[in-house]
Amino acid sequence: MTSEATEAFVWAWLPGASEPIAAGRLETSGEIVYFTYGRSYLDRFGAIPLYLPELPLRQGRIRPPGGLTVAGCIRDSGPDAWGQRVILQRRSGYLTANSDTGDLGLLTYLLESGSDRIGALDFQTSATAYEARTSGATLDEMVTAADRLEGGLPLLPTLETALLDGTSVGGARPKVLLNDGDRRLIAKLSSRSDPYPVVRAEAVAMELARRVGLDVALTEVTEALGHDVLLVDRFDRPECGRQRRMLVSALTILNLDVMMARYATYYDLADAIRSRFAEPKQALRELFSRIIFNICVSNTDDHARNHAAFWDGKILTLTPAYDICPQPRSGGEATQAMAIRRDGYRYSQLAGCVVAASDTYLLSKNEAKDIIDHQVDTIRSEWGEAADVARLTSVERDRLWGRQILNPYALEDAA
């Protein structure tokens, strides 16, 4: 393998801008990644901090806060397990059971992942010349490359860069980025290891989320080379993709990293919304509604990187909901990834959420119950149509209904 990167330059799209500018420099010192704003950026009219309180606009080298090794807003822009595997395969030529994504450092992953990443940052080896890294591959080529990678097969020379445009997207599952005219899309692919139709299950959950009234990313199910594909409209690309919106994960908002993710809670996120978000009461109602919906559809993978907010330099605003995917379960007790109540309660039961409505989410008991009743009634009445949109077979519908979707455990004592 080639040597590890120890320096990278951060380029940013400011609000309303259609072109990036150099914002600063990342450099490693031991395990710590420091950031320094460029003088030209600090002197620029309209420059904003990449995120506060992590990276205030000031001269000098900035150390990550708390126990972090890198500023969370920078880490949010990097690839996760899937993208790291693609980059590792591209570097080594193959992957084995012993391949370890930890063999490469963050700056290497930032510089070798695609430029069309989530949010409004990118990373370059130069502070003066911006060169976008993109593959231009078709969806069929991307699906073929992803299938070979998952099967442990070497990529053909014609496919070596086909997955570049998906390396900068978070998550562990295979996904790529697409442009379809003015639409900017994330294409989430089915996997060889899927124990059930994951793509269509997520599709029906996202469709139901829209129908119950959540602010949710638009989705569409399609097929490529016999593989299910979920197309997700990108909400971080306004003006038909000509602009980019800065955003940060809830993990970053809570000043945590991946190793500390188990400490992330909904009630801490609710407190952050009260103090730092636009229209906090409305945002808290939306957050509570998302918790309720996650429980209704057995999305227990609702960890802090699956929640995010737009950042405009001063204030935060919830992004549309995303990555709502029913998780496998055979029945009985389940828990959410983040605690819902201040006493540590995280059980996947609707009734237990009502207790926290007033002090944590600024909702009355009646308002909380109305949200629950509306969602349960809507899911029941619109299940058939949503399942049609998601292309679920009759067998798949029977397998999801009453198990992942409105599991009896979730409804206990909810009346």
The whole-number pLDDT of residue 97 equals 66
Angle formed by the axes of helices 198-212 and 365-389, nearest 10°? 130
The whole-number pLDDT of residue 160 equals 72
Specify whether the CB–CB gap between 62 and 34 falls below 8 A: yes
Residue of 274, 276, 305, 317 whose CA lies nearest to 54: 276
Per cent of the chain over pLDDT 90 is 73
Distances (CA, A) of 183 to 74, 227, 232, 239, 387: 26, 21, 10, 10, 24
**Domain at 245-411: CATH architecture:** Orthogonal Bundle (1.10)
The whole-number pLDDT of residue 190 equals 87
Angle formed by the axes of helices 198-212 and 280-296, nearest 10°? 140
Q: From CA 43, how far away is CA 38, in angstroms rounded?
A: 9
Contacts of 15 (CB under 8 A, 6+ apart): 46, 48, 245, 246, 312, 313
Strand order in the sheet with 7-12: 61-62, 32-37, 21-29, 7-12, 121-124
The whole-number pLDDT of residue 35 equals 98
Residue whose token pair is 């802090």: 304
Q: From CA 396, how far away is CA 324, in angstroms rounded?
A: 17
Q: Within a 10 A sphere around the Cβ of 92, how many other Cβ atoms? A: 12
Q: Which two tokens stand for residue 310?
A: 């737009």
Residue of 379, 402, 378, 236 whose CA lies nearest to 319: 236
Distances (CA, A) of 135 to 40, 78, 132, 148: 31, 18, 10, 17
pLDDT tens for each residue of the chain, 415 residues long? 457 889 999 999 999 999 999 999 999 999 999 999 999 999 999 999 999 999 999 999 999 998 899 999 999 999 888 888 888 888 777 666 677 777 788 999 999 999 999 999 999 999 999 999 988 888 888 888 888 888 877 777 777 787 888 787 777 788 888 888 889 999 999 887 788 899 999 999 999 999 999 999 999 999 998 889 999 999 999 988 889 999 999 999 999 998 899 999 999 999 999 999 999 999 999 999 999 999 999 999 999 999 999 999 999 999 999 999 999 887 789 999 999 999 999 999 999 999 999 999 999 999 999 999 999 999 999 999 999 999 999 999 999 999 999 999 999 987 6
Where are the domains positioned within the chain?
A: 7-124, 139-233, 245-411
Which class does domain 139-233 fall in?
alpha beta
The whole-number pLDDT of residue 226 equals 86
Q: Is 162 left (phi over 0), alpha (psi -120 to 50) or beta?
A: alpha
